[in-house]
Structure 1
């Protein structure tokens, strides 16, 4: 029976110890490094903003807290790029500091070589890569120290910039083609919506200042002619019919202009426009409007037409007796509620005007929520971001 020698046992113990250390290092890297890399990457981004003039964007948006966020630290490319950046900083940072300290000490010794030699007792003075016995012997070291100092500044600056560029490549978020495309589509949609709103305002002004004024003049002239003609004469009856038709057309044109873009919305703001909207509604509308400041023009327009569409839907489909219209700004968000006591059952997916309403408010990053159980009541809530705003911004 063979006996195991102590040397063999010792070698096996060393191998097991090395394997355990290697396994521990791998587990430490894989298990802890992704978690520790996030704050280190944030610190590195701050440092890069100080060192480099190029703007450093914040990291990619983190998923919501919890298991999803924890899993993302181990499964996303961003997390492992931050791990690589952490190792780069851990190696390059102390290395650059040590190199800079060594260079400073060496250059200081060489620059001070003549003074050190002059104060020596006459023996050779060690200067790092040589000896000097007299001041003339030390002068070349002084010149070399000056040149090395200038060269060191250039070299260290280059190394720091290279390390910063590599770190920026690792910690900066990578451009996502889909995200870039989405941003461009969102901006394009916003520009189209702004252009559409501006065109509506132009049409409203043209109708108000042009066709409406001419029709008003025609109505007045027909009214004067009606007063001058006998009421029972054929001409008087014809003028009376034309006058009535002109007044009806005038009312229709005013309603059309109000539907395109009400002048009160431009002149007096969303609150006054909502009050006017409630006043012209055939059903009783109870209003509760609290707007301490005028929202941005795009927000006002979207909120007004959303409220108008919700009121129109209530009139057409709900068989309601009363409607409640509420508008208020809280915590940077404008909320408009249209609630009726009708039969309920409204849904966004039914293809009614609510779908168009949702599309309209989405242009200004708004949302719509519909609560309409069978039997009612129906609540349409429109929520739109509404930061503090000055009307000067719209000019």
Structure 2
């Protein structure tokens, strides 16, 4: 689901609780924070360029700074305006560059991908429109938002990176230097000055250990701040939602077309052929009206074929929306779906009442598709399906959990239908999560609004 800024993949060692606290994870986190500290100098440049004209104007108007200039003459208004225009043009461009670099770092380190903004529908038709679009790019809301985000990102890089550098690097260097000084004091025999180096030898490693202990926490804080600044701003949420809608719309069109072809194939190969047999049998019975016994036998044959047609049509309709789901809810429908799965399935439904019909339909689809994936791809020996009501902020959720003991490693791009599941759940503002480590089975969790 990388296209929608979803799960962390590339940077999992920095985000996972267990791996982040390992020595390797702490060293990676330390390197990340030091890099943030180095980049923070550049991130603070856009904000500095915005402040320079303001500071210069204040110095020229409200202080005696003019007297310090050569010949005591202030710069001309035209020169000051040109200087300010250059700085205020460079600041948004550098702010956008800084935000782009930080988003790339979020992608490379944490695996979080920004949904790209939709391209303009058409190019500007006249120079005036092109000029307005250019001015909007340079001085519009997004440009100044980029300056603010770059400045805040730079401040957090200085703070978090400074803490780590102060504790780990300075503590280690202080301990090493003090150890050298203590050795020199021992060699020279001047032990009366060894108290301070001896104290630093013990305090330096303590500071380094504290800094390494704080690395996972600081990395997580930096990630949350950067994510909220660069990915969770209202305009970014709208863009991400639009990209999700565009992607899911195309996939749902393809899925609807595939479903239409499946129904057409099932009807053509089954019900349609049987109806043709019924028609031909009735024609034969009509042609042999003089022989009542043979007519009766042909009518019985046609009636049997008609019953078979009705059974096949019920099977086709059951794949769309089963009668048991409409009449009795998930308590009755999920065991029926589990019974059609070739893998043994244990169903646990703990619902005090029925959710909305739309939520039930989505949940049933999720379970059916998940069981089909298990049968086709997982190589599992058992499956557990659980349906329960979960409390959440704002409204309750219908939580569907499908757990198997198969080979794991589920990949949305390998034709396992996960994108179709995500589209169906996302259409009702739900959330789909898949935990599928290789060799450890798969846990699929769908949280569907109770009143979807």
User: What TM-score does the superposition give when structure 1 sets the normalisation length?
Assistant: 0.41
Query: Using CA pairs below 8 Å that are at least 6 residues apart, which structure has the higher relative contact order?
Result: 2
